């Protein structure tokens, strides 16, 4: 089994989408990107989060598949659905705790990240981790990661009563414990009209000349 591991470090992500553009070049899913990248909340931050398949040791997607179309290789890579078996039911799409698999109606099949099996199985790096300018996506051994970089790689996650361990590591910032996925902490900024203020990095600034509304109102 390969010693190479995949690390996702969202702190370093610059949101450039090179990973998505490179992934979409693969001839097995030409034009489609199997990696996803999202702004957490563009209004409040330039923080973005890339998401590859985490390649669970006991993949939920495979467990819920009624057609047994999702296979895990000996070296722990969970594959896209097998075309002859996939019935397009989207059970896996709904069940994956990381939200990774996608159903593509044009081919009536689920596709997802298979860690560039065509590349990694012959010793090459996955495409997204090859091109990532900031190494927010990093492919190498755990030792190599730890000798070079800060941050805490973690591959055990708690979803309710379900504990999931994965082949892919998520890197947490130094000094923070655990992986808080409490949705509530993300909510107030979205739903309160003035809630951006508590995140305002410019709160120390004087009010602006334009604070006198009449200078602008005249033009509205």
Partner 1 sequence: MVKPPFSQEEFLDTYGPTLHYAPPGGFSSVEDYDALVDTHCCFCGQQCGIKLKVKNNAIVGFEPRYDFPFNKGKLCPKGIKRYLQGSHPDRLLHPMRRTEHGYQQITWDEALSETVTKIQEIQAKYGRNSFAMLSGVSLTNEKSYLVGKFARLALQTANLDYNGRLCMVSAGAGNKKAYGIDRASNHWEDITEAKVIFIIGTNIAECFPITTDYIWRARDKGAKIIYADPRMVPMARTADLYLPLRCGSDSALLMSMLHVIIRDGLTDEAFIEAHTTGFGDVRAAVADATPKWAAEITGVPAAKIEQAARWYGEAETGMILHARGLEHQVKGVENVMSCANLALATGKIGKPGCGHSTITGQGNGQGGREHGHKCDQLPGNRDITNPEHRKYICEVWGITDEELPGKGITAQEILNEIHEGKIKGLLSICFNPLVSLPDANFNREALNKLEHYSVIDFFLSETAQHADIVLPGSLQEEDEGTTTSGEGRVIKINAPVTPPGEARRDWEILLDIAGRLGRGKYFQFNNTQEIFNELRLASRGGTADYSGITWEKIVDTQGIFWPCPQTTDEGKVTMHSEHLDDRHPGTPRLYEGGKFYHPDGKAHFNAVNWRESAEVVDDEYPIWFTTGRVVSQYLSGSQTRRIGPLVDQFPHPKLELHPRMAKQLKIKTDDWVTIQTRRGEVIIQANVVNTIRPDTVFMAYHWGGKQSANLLTQRALDPISKIPEYKVSACRVRLASPEEQAEGERTQFLSSRTEKNLPAGYNLAERRKELRR
Residues forming contacts to partner 1 in the complex (CB under 8 A) are: 11-18, 20-22, 24-25, 27, 30-33, 36, 38-39, 42-48, 104, 106-107, 125, 127, 130-135, 148-150, 196-197, 199-202, 204-206, 208-211, 213, 215-216, 219-220
Whole-number minimum distance, CB 209 to partner 1, in Å? 5
The three-state secondary structure class of 197 is helix
- 57 or 134: whose CB is closer to partner 1? 134
Chain centroid, CA 131 distance in Å: 16
Q: How far is CA 103 from the centre of its chain?
A: 17
Query: Are the C-beta atoms of 57 and 167 separated by less than 8 Å?
Result: yes
Residue 68: CB atoms within 10 Å: 10
Q: How far is the CB of 82 from partner 1 (least distance, A)?
A: 19
What is the closest distance, in whole angstroms, from the C-beta atom of residue 63 to partner 1 in the complex?
27
Cβ nearer to partner 1, comparing 66 with 150: 150
Q: Cβ 158 to partner 1, closest distance in Å?
A: 26
User: Between 146 and 163, whose beta carbon lies closer to partner 1?
Assistant: 146
Cα distances (Å, whole numbers) of residue 58 to 27, 65, 112, 126, 147: 28, 13, 16, 22, 29
| Cα 184–chain centre separation | 20
CB closer to partner 1, 46 vs 163: 46
| CA atoms lying within 13 Å on the CB side of residue 81 | 30
E strand map for 56-119: 102-104, 109-111
Comparison of 146 and 156: residue with beta carbon closer to partner 1: 146
Write out the H or E segment, with its range, that includes residue 26: none
Of 5 and 29, CB closest to partner 1: 29
What is the dihedral sign for C-alpha 136, 140, 115, 126?
A: positive
Q: How far is the CB of 127 from partner 1 (least distance, A)?
A: 8
Least Cβ distance, residue 137 to partner 1 (angstroms): 10
């Amino acid at each position: 089994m390969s010693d190479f591991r995949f690390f996702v470090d969202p702190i370093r992500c610059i949101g450039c989408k090179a990973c998505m553009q490179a992934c979409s070049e693969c001839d097995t899913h030409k034009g489609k990107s199997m990696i996803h990248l999202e702004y957490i909340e563009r209004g409040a931050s330039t923080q973005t989060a890339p998401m590859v398949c985490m390649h669970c040791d006991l993949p939920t997607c495979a467990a819920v598949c009624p057609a047994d179309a999702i296979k895990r290789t000996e070296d722990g890579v969970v594959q896209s659905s097998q075309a002859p078996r996939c019935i397009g039911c989207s059970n896996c799409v709904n069940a994956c705790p990381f939200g990774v698999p996608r159903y593509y109606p044009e081919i009536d099949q689920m596709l997802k990240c298979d860690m560039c099996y065509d590349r990694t199985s012959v010793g090459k790096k996955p495409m997204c981790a090859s091109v990532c300018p900031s190494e927010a996506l990093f492919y190498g051994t755990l030792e190599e990661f730890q000798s070079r970089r800060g941050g805490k790689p973690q591959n055990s996650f708690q979803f309710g009563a379900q504990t999931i361990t994965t082949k892919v590591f998520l890197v947490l910032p130094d000094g923070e414990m655990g992986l808080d996925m409490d949705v509530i902490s993300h909510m107030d900024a979205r739903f309160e009209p003035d809630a951006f203020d508590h995140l305002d990095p410019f709160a120390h600034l004087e009010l602006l000349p334009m604070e006198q509304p009449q200078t602008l109102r005249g033009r509205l």
